[in-house]
């Protein structure tokens, strides 16, 4: 198979991979995402933070094709992609992990991984060997043949995380991967993200876990009430008074 992640990453490093331009999404009277713009460069690991209800998940829904923006556009490798269905985006390399875990509950761990592998074009043997490698790396060996519905909450998250990397995505959109996850598993996922980022994998990471964001993400985008209030280095973002105000109440008008 020809997906040489390292080679591709080296070739792309520094190029704009994803471009969000003036994207808005309204639900009735509520503007969930309000004229949001930012770029993600290939190989970047961007933290997306903000209080509950600030529009992070809605933005990820738009980026993964589950919702259509009311206005604005999204470019993947310079071509508009906001009209594509989720499965087309997955095939283009946009992989998304949900905040509320989504796995195939009546299929076993291996089959859960194989679905993504086969749907994204791997042959049977290669999909199986990729699944085996991921199962070993994410330490899911023991539950390998259990149905996903029988796993613990943390194991399910690890499995869904693994699904996103069956075929190395162009960009991985991770929505709260660490929420309510055992510290050991959190370490497994964190180590995985660090090692892939080291090899040039691009991420957007949504998290409320600030120490993790500080540790993993060099850059952070903070949203509040649907708007981007600051987009800078993570240190700068966390020390910004607007961010502190957004998190500690005092509804920014």
Which residues bind to another protein, rule: CB under 8 A? 64-66, 85-87, 90-91, 95-96, 98, 102-108, 111, 114-116, 118-120, 124, 139-147, 152, 154-155, 158, 160, 163, 166, 182, 184-185, 188
CB of 220 to another protein, least distance (A): 25
CB of 86 to another protein, least distance (A): 4
Of 8 and 118, which has the nearer Cβ to another protein? 118
Query: CB of 106 within 8 A of CB of 149?
Result: yes
CB atoms within 10 A of CB 31: 17
* Helix, strand, coil fractions of the chain, as percent rounded to 5: 40, 25, 35
Residue with tokens 């109440």: 249
Supply φ then ψ for residue 170, to 5 degrees.
Answer: -65, -45
Of 19 and 64, which has the nearer Cβ to another protein? 64
Bridge partners, 27 (sequence order): 30
H helix or E strand, kind and range, residue 228 = strand 227-233
Helix runs in 51-200, H state only: 56-63, 86-91, 109-119, 124-137, 153-163, 183-198
Question: Per the structure block, which two tokens stand in for 59?
Answer: 């933005």
Kindly tell me the number of DSSP H helices and DSSP E strands found in the chain.
10, 10
Of 54 and 155, which has the nearer Cβ to another protein? 155
Query: CB of 191 within 8 A of CB of 218?
Result: no
Of 32 and 151, which has the nearer Cβ to another protein? 151
Of 182 and 227, which has the nearer Cβ to another protein? 182
Rounded Cα–Cα distance for residues 224 and 228 (Å): 6
CB of 184 to another protein, least distance (A): 5
CB of 163 to another protein, least distance (A): 6
Start-to-end C-alpha separation, the chain: 52
Of 92 and 219, which has the nearer Cβ to another protein? 92
Of 59 and 163, which has the nearer Cβ to another protein? 163
CB of 66 to another protein, least distance (A): 7
CB of 187 to another protein, least distance (A): 10
Rounded Cα–Cα distance for residues 159 and 147 (Å): 11
CB of 74 to another protein, least distance (A): 17
């Amino acid at each position: 198979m020809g997906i040489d992640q390292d080679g591709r990453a080296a070739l792309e490093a520094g190029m704009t991979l994803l471009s969000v331009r003036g994207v808005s999404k309204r639900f009735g009277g509520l503007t969930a995402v309000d004229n949001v713009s930012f770029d993600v460069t290939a190989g970047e690991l961007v933290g997306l933070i903000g209080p509950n209800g600030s529009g992070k998940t809605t933005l990820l829904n738009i980026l993964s094709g589950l919702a259509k923006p009311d206005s604005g556009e999204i470019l993947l490798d310079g071509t508009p992609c906001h009209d594509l269905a989720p499965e087309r985006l997955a095939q283009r390399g946009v992989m998304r992990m949900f905040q509320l875990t989504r796995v195939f509950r009546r299929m076993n761990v291996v089959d859960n991984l194989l679905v993504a592998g086969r749907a994204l074009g791997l042959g049977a043997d290669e999909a199986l060997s990729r699944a085996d490698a991921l199962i070993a790396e994410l330490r899911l060996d023991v539950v390998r043949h259990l149905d996903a519905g029988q796993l613990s909450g943390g194991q399910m998250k690890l499995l869904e995380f693994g699904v996103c990397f069956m075929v190395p995505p162009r960009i991985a959109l991770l929505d709260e991967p660490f929420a309510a996850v055992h510290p050991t598993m959190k370490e497994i996922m964190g180590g995985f993200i660090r090692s892939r980022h080291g090899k040039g994998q691009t991420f957007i990471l949504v998290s409320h876990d600030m120490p993790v964001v500080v540790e993993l993400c060099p850059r952070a985008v903070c949203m509040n009430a649907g708007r981007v209030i600051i987009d800078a280095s993570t240190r700068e973002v966390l020390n910004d008074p607007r961010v502190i105000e957004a998190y500690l109440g005092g509804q920014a008008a």
